[in-house]
Chains A and B, each alone.
Chain A
Amino acid sequence: MATSMFATILTVCRKELVDHLRDKRTATMIVLLSIAMGPIVLFGFAQFISSIEKKAEAREVFVMGKENAPQLVNFFARQDVTIKDPKPDFRDLIKTGKHDPVLVIPKDFSEKFLTGNADVELVYDDTRQDSGNVSIGVLRRLMRGFNAEVTNQRLIARGVSPQIAKVVEVRDVNMGTPAQRAAQLLFMIPFITLIVCVTGCTAVAIDMTAGERERGSMEPLLMNPVDRGALVTGKWMAVGIYGIGVVALTLIGFAITLKFLPMPKLETVMSITWLQFAGFGVTMLSFAPAMGALQMLIATYGRTFKEAQTYVSYLITAVSMLPALTIFAQLKDATWQLFVPMLGQLMVITRILRGDPVDATHFLIPFAINAAITVVAIVTISKLLTKEKIIFGRA
């Protein structure tokens, strides 16, 4: 009746896979988190981008008091810009993000224009991160153009070359490749997929540890003459397979959405290749199982599913916060980040998306860290399963 460790691992893994495939809770999580995630996020994102581009293209601006400045209106018209009247209470509306920026022309504009000290007001709210920012840019550019034109005319009228007013001419040369700009916009794909690496197997990891304790099946399970390390390894393998499966589904969801959803505006920015997707896959192949092992370890301390859920949510919060840290701290890519779970993965995937070079260390260091996390977690859980407090401690 001697069983090899390998046989034990397989038996446990197979049982957990079957058991959890039948779990509606797990199934719902998988469907919600992975399959629907790609389409929802990308579709929303596409809407956002095309609304920005539409505004930039439409060249519609809101001007208050256009009757006070026929010169300006004439200039706008020549630039193919349509002038629209703002709503009377636009100042309040701008504050709540319900109105685009407005150019306000005072009544005495024409008078002052002749003496050369006219002014206009640009009303906007720079704390709002919406598409209104595009309109500010358009209005600013128009006003610069108008100023330049009038200045030139006045200089010529006085017999001076307009060149004299242009000490230095600035020409824009943007070195960012479209791929880099796309990476900035697409940071959500790696971020969401990495979060899915953690949350995708949470329910399964908790059920196999705290759940087993809660339903009182841990004690009889440990009465079997099997190695506890093998028992935990079998459970971990099942968690890992679920984790990888959910991540794969998420990536496939993104891929299908990118390929088939009619989003012409995004085609240029969102041209992720299959090779890039493969790069994501490799990066997450070890991350998801490692996060599964870590969650199993944390959940082992929970006497009930609920209790374990609370503990695990601390980890999920921490992992979700890390990427925000890179934004606030303005981190540049550095080797040390590869040693930090989540940061390392995020860095590698962002590099892949940006088209920056990626070498073996970018994959090997995070892999080694993930392997270490997994081994430590499995060994610790196996030890915990000999502790009376863990085996018998029931809520």
Chain B
Amino acid sequence: MIEVRDLKKQFGEVKAVDGVSFTAQSGAITGLLGPNGAGKTTTIRMIGTLIAIDSGKIKIGNVDVAADPDGARRACGLLTDSRGLYTRMTARENIRYYADLRGIDPARSEKTLARFVEWLDMKDILDRRTEGFSQGERMKVAITRALIHEPGTVILDEPTNGLDVMSTRALRDLIKRLKAEGQTVMFSSHVMQEVAALCDEIVIIAHGRVTAQGTTQQLLEMSGRDNLEDAFVVLAGIPDEQREAA
């Protein structure tokens, strides 16, 4: 479970996150939906201990992120839009590096790796140097690397950005599999269809605040619209004149 309470973060004059609160339930998939610049990435980076919290509280399971950042780093696996790999090393070496840094027993990390290789169909790329990997191949390696410690909580920031259809499908399947294993999954997106197809619950963020939270059905009812796109536009508080563009 991820609990976020009244989270705030200001960069200079800009209030990037302005009192965000939500809960991502254990064993469920929670979607963080919002237009670009809504504060999704900043929120996720604060959960992932990469940005210090101005005020508010974040808990991953029983771990208070601000008080025990290393505990939080063990408790969750985070994939941000920084998915840089070491291009002179093979995919396996890239993943092994993170397993070693986390002090995971090699036999155990090999087992975890084998699972991901099967799920993400990485057999052919595993022992190739990552130089020249496609976006999709890079994502597969990066996500395996981020989850090699088998965290109970998985957080993905815009994971499908820049991916082709096949890679997107592979990723969607992975998210479903993680849920089936009982993991808590949270991911952000600005694509409604994606969120609607996967998520048990959706949190809509706009202008650094949560404007709505609920299941797809609940969100439709709240907005009084009959399709998700309109519901999102209404609930994100996008003014009428911009709705055409959104």
Contact = CB atoms under 8 A, between A and B. Distances in A.
Contacts of A394: 82
Interface in B11-39: 11
Nearest to A11: B100
Contacts of A212: 84
A167 interface: no
A19 B86 contact: yes
Contacts of A11: 97, 100-101
Contact of B82 (A8, A18, A216, A386): A216
Contact of A216 (B84, B88, B145): B84
A118 interface: no
B80 A219 contact: yes
Contacts of A2: 103
Interface residues of B, number: 36
Please tell me the size bucket of the interface on A.
Answer: 20 to 34
A25 B144 CA distance: 29
Interface string A1-34: 1110001100110010011101100000000000
Contact of B101 (A22, A226, A392): A226
Contacts of A223: 48-50, 73, 78, 146
Given A1-B74, A2-B103, A225-B74, A220 B82 contact: yes
Given A1-B149, A3-B103, A19 B88 contact: yes
A189 interface: no
Interface string B129-148: 00000000000001001100
21 contacts: A1-B103, A1-B149, A3-B101, A3-B103, A8-B101, A15-B86, A15-B100, A20-B88, A22-B88, A22-B89, A216-B81, A217-B85, A220-B80, A220-B82, A220-B98, A220-B142, A223-B48, A223-B78, A224-B102, A388-B52, A392-B45
Given A224-B102, A225-B71, 4 more contacts: A8-B101, A217-B85, A220-B142, A224-B98
Interface of B: 11, 45, 48-52, 69-71, 73-74, 78-89, 93, 97-98, 100-104, 142, 145-146, 149
